[in-house]
C-alpha cells in the first residue's frame, strides 16, 4: 500500500492555509505533521478525512483518489479529531455497537485493537462519567471500526494521563506493525519519536525535517 498526497490547497477568504501540500507514505510508516497551533495541521487532516473540502489536490491510495471516491475513503481511511465525538449518554459498549457488527466487536474486545486500547475495562461506563483518556480511547475505537489502512490522528494523546498515553502508544505501534499508515499531527515528544518521517507545516507550506537533529531541535524549528 502506498499513499500520495499531491498539491493540497485550502483557502479561507484571503488566507491561504494550505499551499500545495505534497508528501508520500508507505505501508507501516508514520508521518508526523509538526507545527505551531493554528498553522493548519487540523485543517490538513480534515481535508484528508473528507470533513472539509479541498480547493485543489488529491489524496491517492494505491493510485485511487479518495477525495473523489467517498465510498473508498470510508473503507480505507479513519480520522480521530482532537475532540471526542462519542455519545455522552451511552455506555462505551453501546457507542461501539453503533459502529461494529456483534461478532467483530466481540473479537476486537477479546484479542484485537479494542483490547489493546483497554476499552474492555470500562465497557459499562457511560461516556459522561469517563475520564478524558477513556473518552479518547473510545473515540479511537469507534473510528477504527472499518479496519482502516490509513489512520489520521490529531494530537491523540494530548491531555491524557500516563496510563492512557501508554494504551494509545501501544495501539499506534501495533497498527504500524500490522502494515497501517499513520498520519499524525502532534507536538508530543513521544509521538514524534514514533514517526518514521516528520514534516514541518509553517505558513501553509510543508517541509521535510532531517533526523540528523534531535526532537528538541525539531520543536525549536517550528
Residue 117 lies in a domain: no
Q: Name the strand (E) or helix (H) holding 144.
A: none
Residue 188: per-residue pLDDT: 84
CB 160 within 8 A of CB 133: yes
Q: Using a cut of 0.85, tell me whether the model's pTM lies above it.
A: yes
Which residues on neighbouring strands pair with residue 18, listed in sequence order? 10
Question: Which residues touch 21 (CB under 8 Å, ≥6 apart)?
Answer: 5, 7, 8, 9, 44, 57, 201, 206
Hey, CA dihedral for 208, 80, 192, 176, is it positive or negative?
negative
d(CA 134, CA 117): 9
Residue 212 has pLDDT above 60, yes or no: no
CB 7 within 8 A of CB 21: yes
Which residues on neighbouring strands pair with residue 204, listed in sequence order? none
Residue 142 lies in a domain: no
pLDDT in tens, 108-146: 999 999 999 999 999 999 999 999 999 999 999 999 999
| Mean of the per-residue pLDDT values of the chain | 92
Residue 48 lies in a domain: yes
* Domain tally, the chain: 1
Residue 94 lies in a domain: no
Residue 107 lies in a domain: no
Per DSSP, which regions of 76-204 are E strands? 77-80, 150-154, 181-185, 197-202
Cβ atoms < 10 Å from Cβ of 137: 27
The band of 10, judged by pLDDT with boundaries at 50, 70 and 90, is: very high
Residue 210 has pLDDT above 80, yes or no: no
Mean per-residue pLDDT, 172-200: 92
d(CA 188, CA 169): 11
Residue 218: per-residue pLDDT: 66
CATH of the domain at 187: 3.40.50.300
> What domain range is 180 assigned to?
2-84+147-221
Residue 216: per-residue pLDDT: 64
Residue 112 lies in a domain: no
> Could you tell me the strand order of the sheet in which 2-12 lies?
15-26, 2-12, 56-61, 64-65
Residue 43 lies in a domain: yes
pLDDT in tens, 44-61: 999 999 999 999 999 999
Residue 141 lies in a domain: no
CB 54 within 8 A of CB 48: no
Amino acid at each position: 500500500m502506498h499513499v500520495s498526497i499531491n498539491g493540497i490547497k485550502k483557502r479561507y477568504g484571503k488566507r491561504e492555509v494550505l499551499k500545495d501540500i505534497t508528501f508520500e507514505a508507505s505501508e507501516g510508516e508514520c508521518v508526523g505533521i509538526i507545527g505551531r497551533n493554528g498553522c493548519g495541521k487540523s485543517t490538513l487532516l480534515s481535508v484528508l478525512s473528507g470533513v472539509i473540502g479541498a480547493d485543489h489536490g488529491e489524496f491517492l491510495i494505491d493510485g485511487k483518489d479518495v477525495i473523489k471516491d467517498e465510498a473508498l475513503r470510508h473503507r480505507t481511511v479513519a480520522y480521530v479529531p482532537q475532540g471526542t465525538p462519542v455519545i455522552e449518554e451511552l455506555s462505551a459498549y453501546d457507542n461501539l455497537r453503533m459502529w461494529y457488527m456483534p461478532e467483530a466487536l466481540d473479537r476486537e474486545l477479546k484479542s484485537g485493537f479494542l483490547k489493546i486500547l483497554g476499552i474492555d475495562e470500562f465497557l459499562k461506563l457511560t461516556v459522561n462519567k469517563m475520564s478524558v483518556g477513556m473518552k479518547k480511547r473510545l473515540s479511537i475505537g469507534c473510528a477504527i471500526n472499518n479496519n482502516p489502512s490509513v489512520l489520521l490522528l490529531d494530537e491523540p494523546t494530548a491531555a491524557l494521563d500516563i496510563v492512557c498515553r501508554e494504551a494509545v502508544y501501544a495501539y499506534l505501534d501495533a497498527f504500524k506493525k500490522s502494515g497501517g499508515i499513520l498520519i499524525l499531527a502532534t507536538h508530543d515528544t513521544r509521538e514524534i519519536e514514533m514517526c518514521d518521517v516528520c514534516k514541518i507545516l509553517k505558513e501553509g507550506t510543508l517541509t521535510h525535517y532531517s533526523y540528523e537533529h534531535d526532537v528538541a531541535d525539531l520543536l525549536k524549528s517550528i
